[in-house]
Chain A
Amino acid sequence: MTKDHHHPHPESAVELRARALEALLAERGLVSTDAIDAVVELYEHDVGPQNGAKVVARAWVDEEYRARLLGDANGAIAELGFGGAEGDNMVVVANTPTIHNMVVCTLCSCYPWPVLGLPPSWYKSPPYRARAVSEPRAVLGEFGVELGDDVEIRVWDSSAEVRYLVLPLRPSGTEGWSEAELAAIVSRDCMIGTAVPRVLDSAAG
């Protein structure tokens, strides 16, 4: 395989440096290529917001599960088979008609990997880390979320080892939907708190 096969575009200095570190560790047998591949595949295929959406959908259809989720999030999330790194201390915060929750990590990029996967770039970016705590309504406005003045915004800055998942409000028009149908309208951003679930005409049938 030629270098061009891997790199149709000119390689950046940081990419070269990253490849060199991997090469150095692999050459010495310290880090295995298949272990790196396994981690990449884990978060690209198995662990992502589809997990959190299943948790939310279950909480929407099962009141007892919802109560367990809000009381012992680790246990309730584990019931669906999810858990692991950056989900060691989960807390689920529920939106209500008068409370809207959103999550940020101003110091770094803390994020509940087992239910949401790896964070999107905007979540880790200086603008979000700076502004989510100091002007959340303006940030929500950028995401197209407009909340009434009677809604209290609660911004959770994950400054310790707790990781937060937002339980959004189940939208009207979803009565009788299956869990799978419900999960399909729970986007990643709904569970960070920068979006709210919407019923599209097509989904409503």
Chain B
Amino acid sequence: MPSKRASGYATTIAPIACGRGGPHASRTARRHRCCRTPSTRDVDGVHDMGGMHGFGPVVEAGGDLPYHERWEPRVFAIQMLVGIEGLGAGPGGRAVREEMEPAEYLAASYYERWLFSAERRLQRKGTIAPGEVESMMERLEAGESMPTHRDPAMAERILADLQATYPMEPPPEEARFGSGQRVRVKRIHPAGHTRSPRYARGAVGVIEDVRGADRLPDRAVYGEDVAPEPVYSVGFSSSDLWGPSQGSPWTVLLDLWESYLEPG
């Protein structure tokens, strides 16, 4: 049985409406993320960060930990459970996080983005309704204790799924491109999820390997029934991506679906 942890799409995308205002217009109103982004395909955005300037140093105090607060791994776990237990709908968590409004995406912490995607996917399935999270926030703020629910079988299910491996399909024998061949990344400007980073579009690279066959995420995440196609490892010289640089050039390698490539 294929894993649902990465997908869980292919179901009806319900419109998102949040019922702004009303009883939860206080501190929660600032965080009314559920209604800001009407389109599920308006995502060629700020998450695509390769080559951007101005973010500052990489190494900073506290940066070595995967998270800093106890709620963060719990949101991670909830997102996993939403997928595996089939509680969500629409594109998977990653594509949903890309729907965040750009300034909000940058301002949000990593697991805040995961919280956003878990809520959206739950709403799209109809598992939770707009306003219900806010209502629970008010109950907890008023001092209600956290409800708990025990289900050892669910714990076993998710542990089994997280420790199972689901490899890509092998590449077809007749892939369009072969190792050593020069290819150019197509100039595209999609409004939806894509794995063709902006910084490589238009650049010429060399096929190093065929990784396997996989469904084009640009269509598959929206539930389209697409056939697997070859995914290539493509190497690019830094000068072809970024122009001349001080010091020695380097190589950047991307895994690119065949649909992203043309002869170079």
B143 contacts partner chain A, Cβ-Cβ < 8 Å? yes
The digit string for A147-175, where 1 denotes a CB below 8 A from any CB of B, is 00111111111111110000000000000
Given the complex of chains A and B, what is the CA–CA distance between A76 and B106 in angstroms? Answer: 38
A44 contacts partner chain B, Cβ-Cβ < 8 Å? yes
Q: Which residue of B lies closest to A111 (CB)?
A: B66
Distance to closest chain B CB from A122 (angstroms): 4
Given the complex of chains A and B, what is the CA–CA distance between A135 and B66 in angstroms? Answer: 24
Contact A22–B74 (Cβ < 8 Å) = yes
Given the complex of chains A and B, what is the CA–CA distance between A154 and B248 in angstroms? Answer: 12
Q: Which residue of A lies closest to B48 (CB)?
A: A107
Question: Which B118-157 residues have C-beta < 8 A from chain A?
Answer: 118-119, 122, 127-128, 132-134, 136-137, 139-141, 143, 145-152, 154-155, 157
Contact B66–A32 (Cβ < 8 Å) = no
Q: How many positions in chain B have a CB within 8 Å of any CB in the partner chain?
A: 106
Q: Residue B106 contacts which of A126, A155, A158, A160 (CB distance < 8 angstroms)? A: A126
B-binding segment of A53-61, A81-89, A196-204: A81-89
Q: A22-B74, A108-B47, A162-B255 are in contact. Are A149 and B81 (CB under 8 A)?
A: no
Distance to closest chain A CB from B157 (angstroms): 8
Q: A31-B78, A85-B162, A139-B58 are in contact. Are A21 and B118 (CB under 8 A)?
A: yes
B60 contacts partner chain A, Cβ-Cβ < 8 Å? yes
A25 contacts partner chain B, Cβ-Cβ < 8 Å? yes
The digit string for B231-257, where 1 denotes a CB below 8 A from any CB of A, is 101010000011001011011111111
Contact A142–B81 (Cβ < 8 Å) = no
Range, interface on chain A: 35 or more
Q: A122-B64, A160-B256 are in contact. Are A19 and B151 (CB under 8 A)?
A: no
The digit string for B151-185, where 1 denotes a CB below 8 A from any CB of A, is 11011011101111111100000000000000000
Distance to closest chain A CB from B81 (angstroms): 5
**A residues within 8 A CB of B80?**
39, 85
Question: Which A130-151 residues have C-beta < 8 A from chain B?
Answer: 130-131, 133-137, 139, 142-143, 149-151
**B residues within 8 A CB of A15?**
69, 71
Contact A133–B255 (Cβ < 8 Å) = no
**A residues within 8 A CB of B94?**
108
Q: A130-B52, A155-B252 are in contact. Are A40 and B74 (CB under 8 A)?
A: yes
Q: Residue B74 contacts which of A16, A32, A36 (CB distance < 8 angstroms)? A: A36
Contact A24–B81 (Cβ < 8 Å) = no
Contact A14–B163 (Cβ < 8 Å) = no
Q: Which residue of A lies closest to B145 (CB)?
A: A1
Question: Which A12-53 residues have C-beta < 8 A from chain B?
Answer: 13-27, 29-40, 42-44
Contact B165–A83 (Cβ < 8 Å) = yes
Name the residue in B59, B72, B197, B247 with the highest tally of chain A Cβ atoms < 10 Å from its Cβ.
B59
Given the complex of chains A and B, what is the CA–CA distance between A139 and B63 in angstroms? Answer: 14
11 CB-based A-B contacts, threshold 8 Å: A40-B73, A40-B76, A84-B162, A89-B168, A107-B197, A118-B76, A127-B58, A130-B50, A142-B58, A149-B248, A160-B256
A residues with a Cβ closer than 8 A to B are: 1, 3, 13-27, 29-40, 42-44, 74, 78, 83-85, 87-89, 91, 106-109, 114, 117-122, 124-131, 133-137, 139, 142-143, 149-162
